[in-house]
């Protein structure tokens, strides 16, 4: 829906005023439209136009290498002959004017009159009408002009920029039109400024094949297609309508009509490109984006211009307009990264060689992770119920996905791998599969723990393990950004870590110290019931959570307790 | 609504595949995203990213002068740490990596982990988080990142391209973020691929002030505003949130969120620019268009970056990416057209000096046009009724608007003006005011008639007038594209013209010849009742029109008859 306007009746003039302000460094407003700034060498003036509502058609493609002026009519309405005449006069650089526009009755008449008036003033004026829409008529000369406007303007703009005379620019424009075919589909109509109802509609779940850009009748409505089939339909119908003796090089536009977005067009482009190449065509400088739109209409069109040796360089040539900019120099200065340069990114990183102590540690890590998995599996539903009080209830499920991925990953690793590496791999698997913030934090923390332990130590005394737990906790603090008392897993983890460090520093063995510290985790988790979360929850949910402990702190306490039992048993 | 996809679950990967095919000349796909082709001089790698669905954020702004790589997550979802790590490694050119992204919990964590891993590999890795959305929090460091992503990326990309080291690029990125403020409004929600219902909604007739780009809560819903008031709201709130000691130069982005179209943004820009200048600010290189979107969300945001002498040249610098291209050279080579060059377009064209015969002719023209006006006024309703059978019933109204404009125009011209000029002026006024195809045709035909007669002849014998009538008829034939028998005004006009020519060629005086030929027009108009229109009417309407004469032919016959009576009286 069109939403931004003041007086709907003044929409076309008001938007043009904003455009002229924005691009005051390159265009100048004149009665009826805009003219581009000009170079020292006079050129044949290519003056394009039609109604508003089709941006970047038409004023968005005025500039070096494209058009020299654009006539700006009211929304979806031909400009008047007086407008076209005025812009033509202002754009003329003494080498004549070519008016070019899509084949609509009003435009044909008004530009025709304007050309007559220019000739009466002694200015050579020609007309090149664009007729690319294969859905609109069987006879080529009766077809409407849609996104093929762009290829024709592009060729003439490039030809004019090369200094060709008016006969030659006109001839090349006609050649471009004769070589261009477009087929479009609409998914939804568009709404004029100030109106609540769309100008036309497409039945829900259907696409209008060949529907015109102002809602003119198309070929037929068909049920909506998957992208691959839509691409096949567009390509196949266009190839059937190819000009006789068509060569294999094709300039291509996949054009969005307004509300069909870039990502959708890219996805469709993948299929279009494959289908064209499968048919033996070489795709030259494809353009995917919005070049000829219809306000907020949903849909797209595919334009093919069969290129010969004359049209090819004109299609490839540089241009610099408000909406369409193309330059060969910036790309020519670059090269693709070499395989060596990219190798680091995708190489499979192998486990470092592990010492004897690290291999013994690996056994403990495997046992501990197995115990964690079984504990989480046992408490999955309970954790879910706690989380559902003020969250989305997926904490148990997410933790189980994480630990399951972790144990599956280390099950693939052999007995030569050390415990530090196992923890790093477990952490990566956990983060990638568990999803959610807690999954990423658990994964990163395990990875940090494993990196701290490493696989080359002669032994893993209690102090090293406690320092590894501190790394685990610090990673979560730094990445998660929470503070103690924020009702997060830190409220179980930090009391545990502090107590473990204190006992180990006092000379206690790891296993009893861990189990005793585990009591602090359990107490800390239980006490979160009295807290309000300070991050990540809206106020009503925060209030609701009082009286229920934090799910992440609860699972943390369960896990350290389970690991404590493993350590006591080894 | 998002319509083009195959498997919705694969949307993000599928669209990336199409993007990589399209831009294979400048980017390379790697695990997790894309990296740009590179130059000979190694640069600090600026690696941006976030979820998909925001194109051109993020992969659309990879290229010279902007980012060196983009991490591509699933739709509206943070990429994983493994993805960010992989793209960071691939983008690194030996001078370190700066990850930059909007401030969302998932992105902060995953890019944070990736940076840790890069550092563990010996690659210097930094993080610059964008926090521009003033609606999301009072404290600057807690704000979300939205379209201000772009200004921060732009500054860092330009700084890296200048060869600065990682400390300096990071410092400038933080400075850009500290200088950037954004405020957005949403008009409508967006729909994920494969879903029928939008992800969130905005109440009808309202705008969501400060609503996040994924539907996060904003400041409040307010009734929809006219464009001028919307601009004032955005500008005023942003100026209130200006960084301390802000200078007067501002880089600006007016960003469309998806379905808010260019014309709407231009219209809004006109007001934004005025308001900013009224507040004493100098606008530097404004950008209006889609830079950070949210699928098919309706809405827009305004971003201001306060520029100091460091940021200014980096904001202005050239860039060449798939979606954002800026070059100073093409514009530097141009100049605005001079007043002299444009004068022809807008000059008031004055009447040529008229001879004695032309002045006498002017009296006849005035009498004739007055008679036409009174005849059309008399028959306005009848013509409307005839036209309503298979048309829109506005023929009488349109003709009256045309002739009234014509007589008003010539009433302003003095007695020194000749008849040829009067007809030309009458024709121009008719075409500009009457609208519709018949208005344009009548206007052009009168103008051609007047040009043929001119104002310099010694006399206007019957043969010259008859040849002028032939010009009148030929103009309509050429511009309108109809054939005799197509049930148009030609079916009255051509029999009249033929008969007038025949009688004048046989030596008859003008007045009796015209009146006799008028009978042919009347007969021709009446006989159109038996015809089916061959142009411009759908088949059901064409059938319906059989039995009713053509309105255009009927008015033509009335007019030539009225003019005949004037000629008989002179």
Chain A positions in Cβ-Cβ contact with residue B230 (cut-off 8 Å): 4
Q: Are B447 and A113 within 8 A, CB to CB?
A: yes
The two structure tokens encoding residue B531:
């015809």
Which CATH number characterizes residue B76's domain? 3.40.50.10440
Instruction: Give the total number of structural domains in chain B.
Output: 2
Instruction: Give the nearest chain A residue to B12 (CA atoms).
Output: A263
Angle, nearest 10°, between helix axes A462-480 and A510-527? 30
Give the burial class of B448: count Cβ atoms within 10 A of its Cβ; 0-12 exposed, 13-18 middle, 19 or more buried: buried
With respect to residue B1, please indicate whether it lies within any of the assigned structural domains.
no
Catalytic: which of B54, B214, B271, B281? B214
Mutate to test the interface with B, among A4, A73, A207 (most CBs of B within 10 A): A4
pLDDT of residue A347: 47
Task: Tell me the average confidence (pLDDT) per consecutive run of 10 residues in chain B, 570 residues long.
Answer: 88 95 96 94 97 95 98 88 93 97 91 91 97 93 94 98 98 98 95 86 91 86 95 96 83 96 96 95 97 95 97 98 95 89 64 91 96 96 88 85 94 93 94 80 94 94 97 92 92 97 97 97 96 70 85 96 93
Distance from CA of A344 to the nearest CA of B (A): 6
CA-based nearest residue to B12, from B94, B89, B83: B83
Domain final position from B328, B346, B379: B328
Q: Are B55 and A262 within 8 A, CB to CB?
A: yes
Mutate to test the interface with A, among B266, B344, B489 (most CBs of A within 10 A): B266
Q: Does residue B100 share a domain with residue B62?
A: yes
Mutate to test the interface with B, among A112, A255, A267 (most CBs of B within 10 A): A267
With respect to residue A13, please indicate whether it lies within any of the assigned structural domains.
yes
Domain final position from B308, B328, B348: B328
Number of A to B CB contacts under 8 A, please give it. Answer: 333
Residue B512 φ then ψ, to 5° = -65, -35
For the stretch A404-435, pLDDT in tens is 999 999 998 999 999 999 999 999 899 887 76
For the stretch A164-195, pLDDT in tens is 999 999 999 999 999 999 999 999 999 888 88
Q: Are B334 and A64 within 8 A, CB to CB?
A: yes
With respect to residue A236, please indicate whether it lies within any of the assigned structural domains.
yes
**Strand runs (DSSP E) across B352-443, as ranges?**
none
3-state helix, strand, coil in chain B (%, to 5): 50, 15, 35
**Measured between alpha carbons, how far is B285 from A23 in angstroms, rounded to an integer?**
9
**Measured between alpha carbons, how far is B84 from B99 in angstroms, rounded to an integer?**
8
Q: Does residue B434 share a domain with residue B317?
A: no
**Measured between alpha carbons, how far is A254 from A271 in angstroms, rounded to an integer?**
11
What single DSSP character describes residue A140?
G
The two structure tokens encoding residue A38:
């000009």
User: Which active-site residues of A does the annotation give?
Assistant: 214
Q: DSSP letters along A519-546, please?
A: HHHHHHHHHGGG----SSS-HHHHHHTT
Q: Does residue A217 share a domain with residue A140?
A: yes
Domain final position from A294, A329, A364: A329
Distance from CA of A83 to the nearest CA of B (A): 9
With respect to residue B346, please indicate whether it lies within any of the assigned structural domains.
no
pLDDT of residue A335: 92
Q: Are B262 and A293 within 8 A, CB to CB?
A: yes
Q: Does residue B303 share a domain with residue B383?
A: no
| C-alpha of A83 from chain center | 39
Q: Does residue B415 share a domain with residue B276?
A: no
**Measured between alpha carbons, how far is B334 from A24 in angstroms, rounded to an integer?**
12
With respect to residue A442, please indicate whether it lies within any of the assigned structural domains.
yes
Cβ-count burial A440-465 (b if 16+ within 10 Å, e if not): bbbbbbbbbbbbbbbbebeebebeeb
Q: Are B120 and A265 within 8 A, CB to CB?
A: no
Flag residues of chain A having pLDDT under 70. Answer: 246-247, 343-349, 435, 535-541
H-run or E-run covering B551 = helix B551-569
CB A291 within 8 A of CB A57: yes
Q: From the list B14, B106, B447, which residue is nearest A267 (CB)? A: B14
Instruction: Give the nearest chain A residue to B283 (CA atoms).
Output: A22
CA-based nearest residue to B99, from B154, B52, B49: B49
Residue B325's DSSP bridge partners are B320
pLDDT of residue B222: 92
Q: Does residue A438 share a domain with residue A363?
A: yes
Q: Does residue B155 share a domain with residue B290?
A: yes
Pairing of strands A125-130, A97-102: parallel
Tell me the H-state helices in A200-261. Answer: 227-240
Instruction: Give the nearest chain B residue to A207 (CA atoms).
Output: B3
Q: Which domain holds residue B16?
A: 8-328
Q: Does residue A388 share a domain with residue A274?
A: no
**Measured between alpha carbons, how far is B182 from B169 in angstroms, rounded to an integer?**
22
Chain A positions in Cβ-Cβ contact with residue B286 (cut-off 8 Å): 22
CA-based nearest residue to A90, from A71, A106, A112: A71
Q: Are A105 and B481 within 8 A, CB to CB?
A: yes
Q: Are B342 and A28 within 8 A, CB to CB?
A: yes
Q: What is the dihedral of CA B238, B240, B241, B246, to 10 degrees?
A: 100
pLDDT of residue B2: 85
What count of Cα atoms within 13 Å lies in the side-chain half-sphere of residue A313?
A: 5
Order of all β-strands in the sheet with B220-223? B220-223, B206-209, B180-188, B298-306, B249-256, B282-289
Residue B529 φ then ψ, to 5° = -55, -30
Chain A positions in Cβ-Cβ contact with residue B541 (cut-off 8 Å): none
Which CATH number characterizes residue A374's domain? 1.25.40.340
With respect to residue B338, please indicate whether it lies within any of the assigned structural domains.
no
With respect to residue B349, please indicate whether it lies within any of the assigned structural domains.
no
With respect to residue A559, please indicate whether it lies within any of the assigned structural domains.
yes
CB B202 within 8 A of CB B224: no
Q: Does residue B29 share a domain with residue B116?
A: yes
Angstrom CA distances, A447 to B80, B117, B392, stand at 14, 10, 75
CA-based nearest residue to A181, from A224, A222, A148: A148
| C-alpha of A254 from chain center | 16
Residue B528 φ then ψ, to 5° = -65, -15
Q: Are A346 and B90 within 8 A, CB to CB?
A: yes
Q: Does residue A174 share a domain with residue A33?
A: yes
Give the burial class of A344: count Cβ atoms within 10 A of its Cβ; 0-12 exposed, 13-18 middle, 19 or more buried: middle
3-state helix, strand, coil in chain A (%, to 5): 50, 15, 35
Q: Does residue B163 share a domain with residue B21?
A: yes
Q: Does residue B149 share a domain with residue B76?
A: yes
Question: Which residues, including other chains, have CB under 8 Å from residue B527's CB and lie 6 or more apart?
Answer: B491, B549
H-run or E-run covering B17 = helix B11-22
CB B114 within 8 A of CB B85: yes
Residue B302's DSSP bridge partners are B183, B254
What single DSSP character describes residue A80?
P
């Amino acid at each position: 829906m069109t939403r931004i306007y003041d007086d709907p009746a003044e929409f076309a003039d008001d938007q043009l005023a904003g455009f002229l302000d924005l691009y005051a460094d390159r265009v100048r407003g004149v009665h009826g439209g805009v003219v581009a700034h000009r170079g020292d060498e006079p050129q044949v003036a290519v003056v394009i136009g039609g109604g508003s509502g089709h941006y970047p058609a038409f004023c968005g493609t005025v500039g070096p290498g494209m058009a020299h002026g654009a006539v700006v009519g009211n929304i979806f309405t031909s400009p008047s002959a007086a407008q076209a005449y005025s812009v033509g006069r202002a754009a003329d650089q003494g080498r004549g004017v070519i008016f070019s526009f899509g084949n609509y009755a009003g435009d044909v008449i008004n530009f025709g009159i304007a050309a007559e008036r220019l000739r009466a003033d002694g200015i050579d004026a020609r007309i090149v009408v664009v007729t690319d829409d294969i859905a609109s008529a069987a006879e080529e000369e009766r077809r409407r002009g849609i996104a093929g406007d762009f290829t024709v303007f592009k060729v003439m703009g490039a030809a004019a920029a090369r200094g060709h005379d008016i006969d030659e620019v006109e001839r090349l424009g006609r050649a471009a039109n004769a070589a261009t075919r477009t087929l479009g589909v609409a998914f939804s109509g568009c709404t004029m400024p100030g109106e609540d109802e769309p100008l036309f509609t497409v039945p829900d779940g259907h696409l209008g094949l060949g529907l015109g850009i102002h809602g003119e009748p198309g070929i037929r409505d068909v049920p909506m297609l998957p992208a691959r089939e839509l691409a096949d339909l567009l390509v196949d119908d266009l190839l059937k309508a190819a000009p006789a003796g068509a060569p294999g090089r094709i300039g291509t536009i996949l054009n969005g009509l307004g509300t069909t977005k870039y990502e959708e067009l890219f996805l469709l482009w993948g299929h279009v490109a494959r289908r064209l190449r499968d048919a033996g065509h070489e795709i030259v400088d494809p353009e995917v984006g919005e070049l000829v739109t219809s306000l907020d209409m949903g849909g797209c069109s595919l334009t093919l211009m069969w290129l010969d040796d004359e049209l090819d360089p004109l299609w490839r040539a540089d241009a610099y307009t408000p909406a369409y900019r193309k330059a060969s120099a910036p790309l020519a200065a670059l090269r693709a990264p070499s395989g060596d340069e990219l190798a680091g990114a995708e190489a499979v990183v192998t486990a470092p060689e592990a010492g004897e102590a690290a291999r013994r540690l690996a056994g403990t890590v495997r046992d501990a992770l197995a115990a964690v998995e079984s504990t989480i599996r046992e408490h999955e539903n309970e954790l879910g119920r706690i989380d559902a009080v003020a969250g989305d209830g997926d904490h148990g499920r997410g933790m189980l996905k994480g630990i399951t991925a972790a144990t599956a990953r280390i099950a693939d690793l052999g007995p030569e791998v050390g415990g530090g590496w196992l923890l790093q791999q477990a952490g990566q698997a956990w983060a990638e599969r568990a999803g959610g913030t807690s999954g990423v934090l658990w994964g990163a923390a395990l990875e940090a723990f494993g990196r701290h332990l490493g696989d080359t130590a002669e032994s893993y005394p209690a102090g090293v393990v406690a320092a590894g737990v501190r790394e685990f906790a610090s990673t979560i603090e730094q990445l998660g950004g929470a503070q103690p008392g924020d009702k997060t897993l830190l409220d179980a983890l930090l009391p545990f870590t502090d107590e473990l460090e204190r006992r180990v520093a006092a000379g206690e063995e790891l296993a009893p110290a861990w189990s005793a510290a585990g009591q602090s985790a359990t107490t800390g988790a239980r006490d979160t019931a009295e807290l309000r979360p300070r991050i990540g929850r809206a106020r009503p949910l925060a209030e609701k959570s009082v009286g229920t402990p934090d799910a992440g702190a609860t699972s943390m306490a369960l896990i350290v307790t389970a690991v404590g039992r493993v350590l006591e048993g080894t």
